[in-house]
Amino acid sequence: MQIPSGVEPIVADRTDPALKEGKRNILGFDREDLKAALAEIGVPEKQIKMRTTQVWHWLYHRGVTSFEAMTNVSKDVRALMADHFVIDRPQVVEAQYSNDGTRKYLIRFADGNEAETVYIPEEDRGTLCVSSQVGCTLNCKFCHTGTMKLVRNLTAAEIVAQLMVARDDLGEWENPTEGRRVTNIVMMGMGEPLYNFDNVKKALEIVMDEEGIQLSRRRITLSTSGVVPHMERAGQEIGVNLAVSLHAVRDDVRSEIMPINKKYNLEQVLTACANYPGAHNARRITFEYTMLKGINDSDADAKELVRLIRKYKLPAKVNLIPFNPWPGSNYECSEWAQIQRFSDIVYEGGISAPIRTPRGRDIMAACGQLKSASEKKSRAERDREAAAAAAGVPHMEASDSALGWVTG
């Protein structure tokens, strides 16, 4: 599904997470939502501010899943909340663990739709790659997610829930800010974040709140394929780091592998980068550049990349990403020697160009490989596996590396 010229994609958006037994799921409420909800159920007005602060702390700093755990909230208020609300995580229908420590979660939301999120551990950080949509509308030809149809935007609650699920699995809640393993978030999972602007903004504001999850802006990166009208707005209203999926330095090539370039071309995207609020040498824009053999990896391409960054006076670095293969792809990864040569040319131009080490390839968790398993495996098959796991019968995902315990 290509994007018609001048037309924004329209998706089915759920403004209210699914009710459970007539109760609203409180996970994903921001402070204003929480204040309003407590007032609606009859919490005395003079208590609203205090109770909001208390409940917020338990939800997002301690990660509790029951109101009974909120020990400094009075029993009558806890009972009132339990009568009207639930604290409900989405279901992890499949969790896979790579040899390199990468973890991939297939998460099923209340309406049955699914998305993937990936945790990537490194020596000095742990990064969670978060999805913003079910499917994608951009159809980038080298990206596995791009072969999916766009189903809908994720709600703010569903975006935040991906972090909560990862922290559950990593056992982070006992010491919420000390020795945490998820230190960084990248909005680089399934979907285009800037086509789900309001929900992404709300979710990241919850994540950045200093009395909750407490991740700073400098540890959050939003990646876009170049949705020009929303880029400056993202800098002004969200203020996190910006990454741009560039992947080519000529309009003809970029339009071929990234159809969005027919709507927002290189000149428009790079001008928007130059105008991005808060970008400077200490907080550079990241350009993501997937290395495709014979497509975008020549010496001339490397030199043109340097020229463009200089022309637009961009405080930038370039992440060179060896192409991660997936079933049915028509592309090959560039030869390692050419990737290194490309990096050297960009470095010689005074621009940082590290080569990203592929992570999680054995579980299809590497960059460009995410795709809801609903299109890989039947729902009935996964449900049988999840039921077996819940009953204590582990199931091994069939693969050469014998990875991927399925969890319920």
Contact of 44 with 194, CB cutoff 8 Å:
no
**Direct distance between the N- and C-terminal alpha carbons of the chain, in angstroms, rounded to an integer:** 33
- For the record, the structure tokens of 152 come out as 């809908």
Rounded CA gap, 197 and 182, in Å?
23
Which residue in 94, 114, 116, 192 is the catalytic one?
A: 116
DSSP, collapsed to helix, strand or coil, labels residue 291 as: strand
Question: Catalytic: 273?
Answer: no
Contact of 209 with 245, CB cutoff 8 Å:
no
Q: Given the DSSP bridges, would you call strands 126-129 and 114-121 parallel, antiparallel or unpaired?
A: antiparallel
Question: Catalytic: 116?
Answer: yes
Which residue in 94, 172, 367, 385 is the catalytic one?
A: 367
Tokens 């980068």 correspond to 273
Contact of 352 with 318, CB cutoff 8 Å:
yes
Number of Cβ within a 10 Å radius of residue 99: 12
C-alpha pair distances (Å), 306 with each of 32, 209, 245, 285, 302: 46, 37, 16, 14, 7
Beta bridge partners of 288: 245, 319
Distance of alpha carbon 53 from its chain centroid, rounded?
27
Contact of 365 with 102, CB cutoff 8 Å:
yes
DSSP, collapsed to helix, strand or coil, labels residue 341 as: helix
CB-based contacts of 292, cutoff 8 Å, min separation 6 = 142, 247, 257, 323, 331, 332, 333, 334
Alpha helices in 258-311 (DSSP H): 266-274, 299-311
* Catalytic residue annotation: 116, 367
